[in-house]
């Protein structure tokens, strides 16, 4: 039934992204801590009840502001030639965030989500409804997320900030087609318990995942689960790459390649990391929890 399908999807895909504070203190070097604070996604509310700022690796028009000693591989940014050269046995020194579901809220029921204001003009009402001090960090993140959701789509893009699972699935269904079976793919690392920067060995050739249409969905920091989902007319390719870390951690990484970046800002951090410029394809890993909805797909080695 539709309700059981939604319950299944919600239990499977409900977001929660971050690092437990104790784990972070015990395991991270200062270099990894800096990587994590600058580049990892932080979505939701942490243990101090303050929402974390969005990831600095936002693939739309990000201004260049980075440490010069951080390389593209460290934060999972590649050229498409790099991806095609991901042969079995090659080593990558990179970093994957980890999610801790206990730290983050889930989706609200659609009826409740639809009844709560979500617009810049009603921010005072939202803050009052949730008893949030207007000058607090949490209030700032609420404002930032709502304003991000209200930004006009870039040329060729269609987007939504979905405040419920039902609205997200309706958007995906409209994008991919009413009679199309679809599934969500993302980076998976079922054995990982601590996020560390380490060397990973590629264990299988990259598999390109073919889908005529694709919808990417990114969780945004808010008081309850919100996904910014979007698709555009520009070509993208998606790959899965199987990795195993030096400590035995297994990761099935999702890599998304934007083939036409001519509309991106020249100051986008990816171009600085890669030493390239707009128009050149940019590939980046998706952190666990960020996903791409695809049509029933054919997966093939490249």
Residue 231 falls inside a structural domain = yes
Residue 166 has which token pair? 């039902």
Which pLDDT score is estimated for 233?
A: 81
Q: Is the pLDDT of residue 150 over 50?
A: yes
Residue 264 falls inside a structural domain = yes
Question: What average pLDDT does this structure show over 40-68?
Answer: 37
Q: How far is CA 267 from CA 74, 77, 257, 273, in A?
A: 19, 15, 18, 11
Residue 247 has which token pair? 């400590």
| pLDDT band, very low/low/confident/very high, at 142 (cuts 50, 70, 90) | very high
- Say what the pTM is: 0.74
Residue 268 falls inside a structural domain = yes
121 and 102 Cβ atoms separated by less than 8 Å: no
Output the CA torsion sign for 264, 233, 78, 251: positive
Residue 290 falls inside a structural domain = yes
Parent domain of 221: 71-106+157-295
Q: What angle do CA 224, 240, 189 make, to 5 degrees?
A: 55
Residue 152 falls inside a structural domain = no
Q: What are phi and psi of 27, to 5 degrees?
A: -120, -15
Could you give the CA distance from residue 57 to residue 80 in angstroms, rounded to a whole number? Answer: 18
Residue 17 falls inside a structural domain = no
Residue 141 falls inside a structural domain = no
At 202, is the secondary structure helix, strand, or coil? strand
| pLDDT band, very low/low/confident/very high, at 168 (cuts 50, 70, 90) | very high
If one counts the domains in the chain, the total is 1
Which pLDDT score is estimated for 103?
A: 56
Residue 122 falls inside a structural domain = no
Which pLDDT score is estimated for 170?
A: 93
Q: Kindly report the average pLDDT of the chain as a whole number.
A: 76
* % of the chain surpassing 90 pLDDT: 33
């Amino acid at each position: 039934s539709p309700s059981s399908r939604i319950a299944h999807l919600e239990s499977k895909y409900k977001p929660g992204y971050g690092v437990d504070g104790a784990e972070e203190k015990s395991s991270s070097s200062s270099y990894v801590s800096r990587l994590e604070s600058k580049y990892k996604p932080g979505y939701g509310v942490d243990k101090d009840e303050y929402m974390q700022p969005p990831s600095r690796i936002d693939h739309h028009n990000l201004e260049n502001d980075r440490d010069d000693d951080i390389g593209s591989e460290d934060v999972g940014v590649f050229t498409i030639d790099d991806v095609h050269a991901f042969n079995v046995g090659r080593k990558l020194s990179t970093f994957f965030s980890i999610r801790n579901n206990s730290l983050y809220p889930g989706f609200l029921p659609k009826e409740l989500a639809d009844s709560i204001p979500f617009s810049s003009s009603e921010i005072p009402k939202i803050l009052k409804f949730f008893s949030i001090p207007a000058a607090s960090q949490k209030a700032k993140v609420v404002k930032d997320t709502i304003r991000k959701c209200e930004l006009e789509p870039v040329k060729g893009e269609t987007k939504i900030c979905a405040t419920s699972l039902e609205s997200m699935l309706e958007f995906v269904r409209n994008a991919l087609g009413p009679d199309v079976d679809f599934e969500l793919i993302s980076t998976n690392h079922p054995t990982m318990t601590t996020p560390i920067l380490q060397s990973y060995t590629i264990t299988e050739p990259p598999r390109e995942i073919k889908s005529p249409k694709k919808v990417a969905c990114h969780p945004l920091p808010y008081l309850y689960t919100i996904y910014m989902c979007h698709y555009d007319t520009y070509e993208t390719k998606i790959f899965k790459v199987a990795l195993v870390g030096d400590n035995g951690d297994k990761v099935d990484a999702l890599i998304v390649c934007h083939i036409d970046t001519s509309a991106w800002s020249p100051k986008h951090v990816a171009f600085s990391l890669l030493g390239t410029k707009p128009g050149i394809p940019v590939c980046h890993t998706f952190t666990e929890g960020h996903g791409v909805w695809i049509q029933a797909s054919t997966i093939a080695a490249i």
